[in-house]
C-alpha cells in the first residue's frame, strides 16, 4: 500500500491528524455514554414500574394496637366496605374467651388510606374534625406529601364521622372489631394476686415486729446485750426488706390500675386511623428533580471523559514510558551480561 503522493508527513499534518483522532474519540465516547445512560434510565424505570405493580401498598397504622391486645379479635366488613379491603386488614390472632360477655368489651377501629391530588384540601377536611367536641385527636402529623391522623369518637357520633371519611373516597377503608375481655381479666387477676401478696406482707411484718418486741423484752430482762444487739439488727433488716417489697407491689398495683383504666376507656370510643397521601398525575417537583439528576449525571459523564482524555491519557503515556525505560535497562544489562558470558567462554 502506497501513501498518496500529495500527502506529506509534516509536523503540521501530524498534529492535524492527532487532533481529528482526538475529536473523533471524544464524539464516540460521548455517544456511547449518552446511549448507555438512556438505556440504563429506561431499564431502571421499567424495573421500578414492574416492582410497583407487583407490590401493592399496605396499610397497617394500628398494628401495634392489635398486637398489644391479648383478647380475642375478629373483623367484620361494614356496609360500603369492599371485600378486598376487609381481606387486607391486619390479622388478629383469636384466643379463647371465658364466659358469654366478650361483646361487652368490644372495640371498633377504622383504618382509612386516602390518595388525593388535592392534599391540602383533604388534610384540612380531616383536621377540621378536631373542632368537634365529640372527636378527640390523639395524633396529627402533616408532611410535604402526606398527613396522618389518629382520633377517637363517641360511639353515637361514629356513623357520622365514618360517612365524612367515606365521602373523601378512600382507596382502602377497613373496619376491625375485637374484644378486650381477656386483657381486662388478666389485669383484674394480677391486681387481686398483688393485693393478696400485700396483705400477707403486712401480716408478716406485724407478726415479726411483735415477735421481735417480745424477744427484745426477754433479752432486756436477762441483760443479754449481745443477743439484744443481734435481735435489733435482724429486726431492722427484716423491716427494710418487707417495706421495700411492699413499695414494689404498690408500684405494680398503680401501673396495673392505670393500664386497666386505659383499656376500659377504649370501650367508650370508636377509633379512626386516617392516612392521606398525595398522588398527582403530573408532579412538577418530581420532574424538576429528575431533570436535575439527569443534568448532574451528564456533567459527571463529560467530566469523566475529559479526565480520561487528559489526565488519564497523560498517566497512561507516563506509565508506558516507565515500562519502556525498564525494557531499555533490561536490554542494556542483558547486552553486557551476554558480552561478559562470551568473554568467559572464549577464555575457556
pLDDT, tens only, 145-177: 899 999 999 988 899 999 999 999 999 999 998
Length of the chain: 348
106, 179 Cβ separation under 8 angstroms = yes
Task: Kindly state the cell numbers that stand for 236.
Answer: 431492722
Residues 306 and 261 in one domain: no
219, 233 Cβ separation under 8 angstroms = no
Residues 119 and 217 in one domain: no
Residue 225 covered by a domain:
yes
As for how many domains the chain has, the answer is 4
What number is the average pLDDT over the span 321-343? 83
Rounding to the nearest 10 degrees, give the CA dihedral for residues 10, 11, 14, 20. -120
Residue 256 covered by a domain:
yes
Of 113 and 339, the structure prediction assigns the larger pLDDT to: 113
Q: Give the span between the Cα atoms of 264 and 324, in whole angstroms.
A: 88
Residues 93 and 130 in one domain: yes
Is the pLDDT confidence value at 186 over 90?
no
Work out the pLDDT band at 80, boundaries 50, 70, 90: very low
What number is the average pLDDT over the span 59-88? 39
Residues 94 and 178 in one domain: yes
Residue 163 covered by a domain:
yes
Dihedral of alpha carbons 232, 234, 235, 239, sign: positive
Residue 5 covered by a domain:
no
126 burial (CB, 10 Å; 0-12 / 13-18 / 19+) is buried
175, 76 Cβ separation under 8 angstroms = yes
Work out the pLDDT band at 204, boundaries 50, 70, 90: confident
Residues 95 and 107 in one domain: yes
Work out the pLDDT band at 110, boundaries 50, 70, 90: very high
Residues 98 and 178 in one domain: yes
Residues 85 and 165 in one domain: yes
Q: Give the span between the Cα atoms of 187 and 71, in whole angstroms.
A: 12
Residues 138 and 88 in one domain: yes
Residues 125 and 170 in one domain: yes
Residue 254 covered by a domain:
yes
pLDDT reported for residue 192? 84
Task: Kindly state the cell numbers that stand for 194.
Answer: 398483688
pLDDT reported for residue 55? 39
pLDDT reported for residue 151? 94
Residues 153 and 274 in one domain: yes
Q: Give the span between the Cα atoms of 59 and 110, in whole angstroms.
A: 12
Residues 71 and 27 in one domain: no
Is the pLDDT confidence value at 88 over 60?
no
Residues 122 and 144 in one domain: yes
pLDDT reported for residue 147? 94
Residue 344 covered by a domain:
no
Q: Give the span between the Cα atoms of 234 and 217, in whole angstroms.
A: 15
Is the pLDDT confidence value at 50 over 70?
no
Q: Give the span between the Cα atoms of 83 and 175, in whole angstroms.
A: 11
The domain in which residue 227 lies consists of 193-265
Residue 328 covered by a domain:
yes
Task: Give the mean pLDDT of the chain.
Answer: 74
What number is the average pLDDT over the span 57-82? 39
Three-state SS for 22? helix
Helix axes 11-54, 284-309, angle to 10 degrees: 150
Q: Where are the alpha helices (DSSP H) in 142-224?
A: 158-166, 181-221
pLDDT tens-place string over residues 113-153? 999 888 899 999 999 999 999 899 999 999 888 999 999 99
Task: Kindly state the cell numbers that stand for 121.
Answer: 384540601
What number is the average pLDDT over the span 303-332? 84
Residue 316 covered by a domain:
yes
Amino acid at each position: 500500500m502506497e501513501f498518496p503522493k500529495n500527502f506529506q508527513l509534516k509536523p503540521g499534518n501530524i498534529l492535524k491528524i492527532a487532533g481529528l483522532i482526538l475529536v473523533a474519540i471524544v464524539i464516540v465516547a460521548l455517544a456511547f455514554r449518552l446511549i448507555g445512560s438512556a438505556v440504563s434510565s429506561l431499564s431502571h424505570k421499567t424495573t421500578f414500574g414492574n416492582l410497583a405493580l407487583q407490590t401493592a401498598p399496605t396499610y397497617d397504622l394500628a398494628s401495634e394496637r392489635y398486637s398489644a391486645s391479648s383478647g380475642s379479635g375478629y373483623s367484620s366488613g361494614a356496609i360500603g366496605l369492599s371485600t378486598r379491603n376487609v381481606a387486607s386488614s391486619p390479622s388478629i390472632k383469636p384466643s379463647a374467651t371465658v364466659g358469654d360477655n366478650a361483646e361487652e368489651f368490644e372495640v371498633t377501629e377504622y383504618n382509612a388510606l386516602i390518595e388525593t391530588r388535592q392534599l391540602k384540601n383533604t388534610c384540612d377536611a380531616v383536621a377540621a374534625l378536631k373542632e368537634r367536641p365529640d372527636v378527640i385527636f390523639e395524633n396529627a402529623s402533616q408532611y410535604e406529601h402526606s398527613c396522618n391522623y389518629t382520633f377517637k369518637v363517641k360511639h353515637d357520633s361514629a356513623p357520622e364521622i365514618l360517612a365524612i371519611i367515606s365521602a373523601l373516597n378512600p382507596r382502602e377503608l377497613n373496619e376491625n372489631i375485637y374484644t378486650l375481655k381477656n386483657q381486662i381479666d388478666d389485669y383484674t387477676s394480677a391486681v387481686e394476686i398483688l393485693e393478696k401478696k400485700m396483705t400477707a406482707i403486712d401480716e408478716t411484718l406485724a407478726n415479726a415486729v411483735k415477735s421481735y418486741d417480745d424477744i427484745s423484752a426477754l433479752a432486756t430482762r436477762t441483760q443479754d446485750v449481745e443477743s439484744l444487739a443481734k435481735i435489733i439488727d435482724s429486726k431492722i433488716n427484716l423491716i427494710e426488706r418487707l417495706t421495700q417489697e411492699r413499695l414494689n407491689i404498690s408500684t405494680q398495683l398503680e401501673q396495673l390500675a392505670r393500664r386497666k383504666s386505659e383499656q376500659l376507656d377504649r370501650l367508650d370510643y370508636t377509633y379512626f386511623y386516617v392516612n392521606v397521601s398525595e398522588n398527582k398525575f403530573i408532579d412538577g417537583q418530581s420532574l424538576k428533580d429528575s431533570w436535575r439528576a439527569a443534568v448532574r449525571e451528564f456533567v459527571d459523564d463529560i467530566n469523566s471523559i475529559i479526565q480520561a482524555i487528559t489526565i488519564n491519557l497523560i498517566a497512561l503515556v507516563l506509565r508506558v514510558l516507565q515500562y519502556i525505560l525498564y525494557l531499555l535497562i533490561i536490554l542494556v544489562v542483558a547486552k553486557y551480561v551476554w558480552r561478559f558470558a562470551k568473554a568467559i567462554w572464549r577464555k575457556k
